[in-house]
Amino acid sequence: MQLTHIPLISAILGVAMTGSTMAATHTIDVGGTSSSPALTFVPSNVNIAVGDTVMFAFNGDHTASQGSSGDPCSPASPSEFDFSGNAGQNFNHTFNTAGSFNMYCKIPGHCDAGMKGVILVGQASSSSSSSSSSGTGPTMSPPPPYGSGASFLTPGAKPITLGCLLTGAAMFAIAG
């Protein structure tokens, strides 16, 4: 009889679904696309969250390098990323620090021709503010303790997650 495991698994699922944020991967075409100029990053301005990854997908002989904040066509020092590649290659970089990162191609003439852009990390104004830089992330409400099934019906309770519903259902199934 494995039914006794269901409440625990459901509780874990409930916490996992409400407490985790998935890191995303964003693709930037290096050297344009079939429908955009060759000497570009596409998109050239990206807004990502701390912990997200950028995949630089090369469509020609270029570099995807971090430019200095003062002159986006010269190298940053220190720099977080400096990839050199050719068509078909890709490189991933995960941004774990909030900030504004210039990117450009180091090949002479390319940056001046417009092959540059900006990656904004952790500045997104959309949805919830995942302020992981402050170290005080959003607090997570714990699942109700076992045996307090009646609290699901309490007015003003937090929104019930699927996991909690399953937990409650399983508890009632066992208890009944």
Ligand X SMILES: *[C@@H]1O[C@H](CO)[C@@H](O)[C@H](O)[C@H]1NC(C)=O
Q: Does 91 bind ligand X (CB under 6 A)?
A: yes
Q: For the CB of residue 35, give the shortest distance to ligand X in the complex, in Å.
A: 22
Residue found under tokens 């075409």: 29
Q: Does 25 bind ligand X (CB under 6 A)?
A: yes
Q: Which of 36, 79, 90, 132 binds ligand X (CB under 6 A)?
A: 90
- Smallest CA-to-CA distance from 72 within 99, 112, 41 is with 112
- Smallest CA-to-CA distance from 26 within 64, 66, 51, 55 is with 55
Contact mark string toward ligand X, 133..152, x via CB under 6 A? --------------------
Q: Binding segment for ligand X among 41-49, 69-77, 84-92, 163-171 (CB under 6 A)?
A: 84-92
Backbone angles phi, psi at 122, to 5 degrees: 75, 25
Q: Does 84 bind ligand X (CB under 6 A)?
A: no
- Smallest CA-to-CA distance from 162 within 3, 12, 40, 25 is with 12
Query: What is the rounded distance in angstroms from the CA atom of residue 166 to the CA atom of residue 6?
Result: 8
Largest CA distance in the chain: 75
Q: For the CB of residue 27, give the shortest distance to ligand X in the complex, in Å.
A: 8
Residue 121's alpha-carbon distances to 15, 54, 61, 133, in angstroms, are 27, 11, 26, 11
Q: For the CB of residue 111, give the shortest distance to ligand X in the complex, in Å.
A: 24
Backbone angles phi, psi at 152, to 5 degrees: -60, -25
Q: Does 86 bind ligand X (CB under 6 A)?
A: no
Type of residue at 62: H
Q: Binding segment for ligand X among 1-9, 28-36, 90-98, 164-172 (CB under 6 A)?
A: 90-98
Contact mark string toward ligand X, 36..75, x via CB under 6 A? -------------------x--------------------
Residues that bind ligand X (CB under 6 A): 25, 55, 90-92
